[in-house]
Amino acid sequence: MPLSLAHALKQAAIAGLLALGLAFPILALRSDQDMNNRLIVETRWSWAIGAALAIFALRLIGLYLQHWRANRPQSVRSNEARKDYGTPLAWAGLIILFAFPFVILSLLGPQGALKWINNYGIQILIYVMLGWGLNIVVGLAGLLDLGYVAFYAVGAYSYALLSTTYGLSFWICLPLAGLLAAFWGILLGFPVLRLRGDYLAIVTLAFGEIIRVVLINWIEFSNGSAGISSIPRVTFFGLPFTAGEGGFAALFGLEFSPIHRVMFLYFLILCLALITNVVTLRMRNLPIGRAWEALREDEIACRSLGINTVNTKLTAFALGAMFGGFAGSFFAVRQNFVSPESFTFIESATILAIVVLGGMGSQIGVAIAAVLMIGGTEVLRELDVLKAIFGEGFDPAQYRMLVFGLGMVVMMIWKPRGLISTRTPTIFHMKRRAVSSDLVKEGHA
Amino acid sequence: MENFLQQLINALTLGSIYGLIAIGYTMVFGIIGMVNFAHGDVFMLAAFIALLIFLALTQLLGLASLPIAFLIVLVVAMVLTALWSWAIERVAYRPLRGSFRLAPLISAIGMSIFLSNFVQVVQGPRNKPVPPMFTDFVRLTDGPLSVALSYKQMLIMAVTAVLLVGLWFVVQKTALGRAQRACEQDRRMAALLGIDVNRTISLTFVIGAALAAVAGVLYMMYYGVVNFADGFVPGVKAFTAAVLGGIGSIPGAVIGGLLIGLIETFWSAYFSSDYKDVAAFSILAVVLIFMPSGLLGRPDVEKV
């Protein structure tokens, strides 16, 4: 059936009018304080009309897109094996990751490369690692955790406090931070064993917030919202990255440059992330990993088959938390500063969004999702092109979280099962193959 | 004693606001089994809409009478917030109905992030001081520590009571209410019996948002300041109220709201106001763990 233009225009006009109604007070009026701190209101009709026109256009495009998709010949979804792109993609990604800092360095020189390796490389890899850590809890064990940032905070504060109070080095604190976070994972996991689905999500959210509020208010312990500053920097297994005698540069006969430390941090987080990945992949083949996945698909069936769900859930929580703790202590050593500001609910939501968008349980999917979401929002910071279009006062960084939130909604509507929506069963007949996750039952709770 | 009475009045005021928000959570959860994460931000949006309408009425149109202005603000905020919530449901939740269970939750979290940042971008990140309204109060007792009941507090309790009676009427006595209760029990069966399920769900969102809008207007008037980040914590507390009262139960949400108001106020008054959020979050965890069906909720039995 062809889509009549009149009908499409009418639909789009309704959407546009609706948008005008929605935009009326919030866009068309703007309140601001004057000199006496009194609120005054001014009108800004152009914004509301612009929004209405934008929605009109979007709806029109959307209608034609929908029409096009509906009339396209349908591909039949089958149980047939799909081609497994995972392994070659993973190897390619690995090579790119190891080559990335050197390529950037040779292209931009030490000054220009600093920003790229730091803002893109390290930042994205932290989220890849957090995503892989949370993937154990959410993707494999199917336990929806909205308070993952709590363990990240435990790791960061462990290193910050142990190093500033007792002068312990990063290499001692790193395993300690992981252990402490795992301990907290079990501690927080224990009471929520009976909960499932949305309820579990909300309780873990509450735990995350409790830890943050305590960090803000318990000033003797954590220095409150001022945070802990001058945390010792990372060393090359004991060698400091300093300019003088006995530094990393002097010992290896290199000219001192801040790029050394950044490069080292990059490879450190890369290794930590890869350890997370390897451990997860290996665990999937162990009985415990299979128990996790069984738990995700059906808890009652799991219990009927004699799987100890308490141990299964607690190990998932503890292991996920441990990797969160490692990432946290890396975060502290990279920033040299921690404060409760860094551990808000938005962080947990971001990490969860990465896991879900990646296609829960898919390692490579999580990595791609982290690159898209974190890299994408970082790119938005840089876009000076937009400044040229919207005028000098336009600051793209402001719109970062706005686009991020909208992106989460759009991604869910477009691909609710995530980017890599196939499952590779650990037990297979004759040949290893992936199946579409639409065919998986999963979580009826 | 005076202090106790004063705190009781404050607690009931706060509890009324939480109760109004909690109804939105509980109705939506009852009908589609989803935690509408963006509901707290809808409440915040309503407070902003109310503030802007109020400023426009008094400054641009020069309306002098405060009660009339308040009434107009209340009605316009309810209508516009309901429209927002309808649009959100339509755009972000309806396409995901029948999808796997995490999808609507993630979408709602995205919507929540979008709404708070949207308000931040278009209205600025600073606190908005609201011009004081209804500043008079009645002294209930005389003495060095007198108990005062302000007009604002009376207004909040009165508006809440009227709305609850109205809601009770809608849910118990009208065709819409019957349809809602039917969808809550069995959506497929309700559809077979000729109930427009999608429309009923939309209207549930609309009613919840209208009540949250009233809460937003009252919150703005009572505290005299609004901020784009104000949706999250009241939202979680109202959700706690809904869980405490038994999610899915409307009287439960109101009772839960009042209880959370009481606990929070007395905790701040007698222990520590720094940790009042910890108190609310801990209650949420404890209730969910030990009493997941709440005070008035039905126990959730899983059938195989």
**Which range has the top average pLDDT, A17-21, A101-105, B145-149?**
A17-21
Chain B residue with minimal CA distance to A353? B106
pLDDT of res. A443: 43
pLDDT of res. B169: 92
How many CA atoms does the CB half-sphere of A39 hold within 13 Å? 26
pLDDT of res. B32: 86
pLDDT band at A439 (very low <50, low <70, confident <90, very high): low
Closest CA to A367 of A174, A178, A130, A81: A130
Find the distance separating the first CA and the last CA of chain B, reported in whole Å: 54
Which residues are bridge partners to A436 per DSSP?
Answer: A422
Residue at B107 is within a domain: yes
Q: Which residue has the tokens 């290199």?
A: A254
- Our CA dihedral for A398, A404, A406, A411, rounded to 10 degrees, sits at 160
Separation between Cα atoms, residue B70 and residue B50, nearest integer Å: 9
Residues of B in contact with A213 (CB under 8 A): 275, 277-278, 281
Q: Do A416 and B103 touch (CB under 8 A)?
A: yes
pLDDT in tens, A61-100: 888 888 887 777 665 555 455 555 667 777 888 888 888 8
Separation between Cα atoms, residue A188 and residue A137, nearest integer Å: 13
Closest CA to A215 of B274, B158, B106: B274
Residue at B281 is within a domain: no
Identity of the amino acid at A183: F
Separation between Cα atoms, residue B266 and residue B10, nearest integer Å: 9
Token couple for A364: 């490579």
Q: Residue B32 sits in which domain range?
A: 2-229
Closest CA to A371 of A357, A381, A385: A357
Q: Is the pLDDT reported for residue B227 higher than 60? A: yes
**Residue B113: which of A210, A399, A401 has the nearest Cβ?**
A401
Percent of chain A residues past pLDDT 90, beyond the cut: 18
pLDDT of res. A314: 92
Chain A residue with minimal CA distance to B60? A41
pLDDT of res. B160: 92
Q: Is the pLDDT reported for residue A347 higher than 80? A: yes
Largest Cα span, chain B: 66
Residues of B in contact with A407 (CB under 8 A): 110
pLDDT of res. B5: 86
What residues 416-435 of chain A have any CB closer than 8 A to a CB of chain B?
Answer: 416-417
Please tell me the distance in Å from B167's CA to the nearest CA on chain A.
25
pLDDT of res. A393: 60
Residues of A in contact with B304 (CB under 8 A): 300
The ipTM assigned to this model is: 0.85
Chain A residue with minimal CA distance to B233? A209
**Residue B278: which of A213, A401, A417 has the nearest Cβ?**
A213
Burial of A21 (0-12, 13-18, 19+ CB in 10 A): middle
Separation between Cα atoms, residue A41 and residue A31, nearest integer Å: 4
pLDDT in tens, A43-63: 888 888 888 888 888 888 888
Q: Do B239 and A202 touch (CB under 8 A)?
A: yes
Residues of B in contact with A41 (CB under 8 A): 52, 55-56, 59-60
Residues B167-182 have a mean pLDDT of 91
Is A58 in CB contact (< 8 Å) with chain B? no
Residue at B286 is within a domain: no
Please tell me the distance in Å from A360's CA to the nearest CA on chain B.
10
Is A192 in CB contact (< 8 Å) with chain B? yes
pLDDT of res. A411: 83
Q: What is the CATH number of domain A87-382+415-419?
A: 1.10.3470
Which residues are bridge partners to A434 per DSSP?
Answer: A82
Percent of chain A residues past pLDDT 70, beyond the cut: 87
Total residues found in chain A within this entry = 445
pLDDT of res. B268: 87
pLDDT of res. A159: 92
Chain A residue with minimal CA distance to B240? A202
Separation between Cα atoms, residue B105 and residue B127, nearest integer Å: 29
Q: Do B56 and A29 touch (CB under 8 A)?
A: yes
Separation between Cα atoms, residue B255 and residue B15, nearest integer Å: 9
Separation between Cα atoms, residue A242 and residue A231, nearest integer Å: 15
Q: Do A32 and B59 touch (CB under 8 A)?
A: no
Residues A262-280 have a mean pLDDT of 91
Is A62 in CB contact (< 8 Å) with chain B? no
pLDDT of res. B304: 56
Cβ atoms of residues B263 and B283 within 8 Å? yes
Cβ atoms of residues A5 and A46 within 8 Å? no
Q: Is B248 left (phi over 0), alpha (psi -120 to 50) or beta?
A: left
**Residue B277: which of A213, A404, A409 has the nearest Cβ?**
A213
Residue at B257 is within a domain: no
Strands B225-226 and A435-436: unpaired
Cβ atoms of residues A41 and B56 within 8 Å? yes
Total residues found in chain B within this entry = 304
Closest CA to A320 of A420, A184, A211: A184
pLDDT of res. A239: 77
pLDDT of res. A125: 92
What residues 307-326 of chain A have any CB closer than 8 A to a CB of chain B?
Answer: none
Burial of A76 (0-12, 13-18, 19+ CB in 10 A): exposed
Burial of B21 (0-12, 13-18, 19+ CB in 10 A): buried
Closest CA to B288 of B231, B239, B235: B239
pLDDT of res. A444: 39
Q: Which residue has the tokens 């873990």?
A: A204
Residue at B245 is within a domain: no
pLDDT in tens, B43-90: 999 999 999 999 888 888 877 788 888 899 999 999 999 999 999 999
A 10 A CB-CB count for B165 gives 10
Question: Average pLDDT of chain A?
Answer: 82
Please tell me the distance in Å from B146's CA to the nearest CA on chain A.
31
Residues A381-406 have a mean pLDDT of 70
**Residue B110: which of A29, A360, A409 has the nearest Cβ?**
A409
Residue at B147 is within a domain: yes
Closest CA to A141 of A191, A196, A87: A196
Three-state secondary structure call for residue A41: strand
Report angle CA A395, A396, A401 to the nearest 5 degrees. Answer: 120
Signed CA dihedral, A259, A260, A263, A265: sign only: negative
pLDDT band at B24 (very low <50, low <70, confident <90, very high): very high
Report the b/e string of A256-267 with b at 16+ CB within 10 A. Answer: eeebbbbbbbbe
How many domains does one find in chain B?
1
Q: Do A412 and B103 touch (CB under 8 A)?
A: yes
Give domain limits for chain A.
Answer: 5-69, 87-382+415-419
pLDDT in tens, A29-38: 888 777 777 7
Counting one residue from chain A and one from chain B, the pairs whose CB atoms sit within 8 A come to 185
pLDDT of res. A429: 64
Q: Do B87 and A198 touch (CB under 8 A)?
A: no
pLDDT of res. A130: 94
pLDDT in tens, A168-206: 888 889 999 999 999 999 988 888 877 777 778 888 888
Identity of the amino acid at B111: M
Among A409, A415, A444, pick the best mutation site for testing chain B contact (most B Cβ within 10 A): A409
Residues B258-270 have a mean pLDDT of 89
SS (H, E, C) chain B: CHHHHHHHHHHHHHHHHHHHHHHHHHHHHHHHCCCCCCHHHHHHHHHHHHHHHHHHHHHHCCCCCHHHHHHHHHHHHHHHHHHHHHHHHHHHHHHHCCCCCHHHHHHHHHHHHHHHHHHHHHHCCCCEECCCCCCCEEECCCCCCCCEEEHHHHHHHHHHHHHHHHHHHHHHHCHHHHHHHHHHHCHHHHHHCCCCHHHHHHHHHHHHHHHHHHHHHHHHHHHCEECHHHHHHHHHHHHHHHHHHCCCCHHHHHHHHHHHHHHHHHHHHHCCCCCHHHHHHHHHHHHHHHCCCCCCCCCCCCCC
Lowest-pLDDT range of A302-306, A336-340, A387-391, B31-35: A387-391
- Give the DSSP letter string of A198-228: HHHHHHHHHHHHHHHHHHHH-HHHH-GGG-B
Token couple for B236: 């979680």
pLDDT in tens, A141-172: 888 888 899 999 999 999 999 998 888 888 88
Burial of A433 (0-12, 13-18, 19+ CB in 10 A): middle
pLDDT band at B209 (very low <50, low <70, confident <90, very high): very high
Residues of A in contact with B83 (CB under 8 A): 18, 21-22
Q: Is the pLDDT reported for residue A27 higher than 90? A: no
A 10 A CB-CB count for A225 gives 12
Largest Cα span, chain A: 79
Q: Is the pLDDT reported for residue A445 higher than 50? A: no
Cβ atoms of residues A11 and A44 within 8 Å? no
Closest CA to B243 of A206, A145, A445: A206
Separation between Cα atoms, residue B225 and residue B129, nearest integer Å: 5
pLDDT in tens, A281-329: 898 889 998 899 888 888 888 889 999 988 999 999 999 999 999 999 9
Q: Of B137 and A272, which is predicted with more confidence?
A: A272
Q: List strand residue ranges (DSSP E) for A25-139, in order.
A: 29-33, 39-43
Q: Is the pLDDT reported for residue A134 higher than 60? A: yes
**Residue B302: which of A210, A300, A443 has the nearest Cβ?**
A300
**Beta carbons within 8 Å of B39's beta carbon, 6+ residues apart:** B21, B24, B25, B28, B208, B209, B212, B235, B238, B239
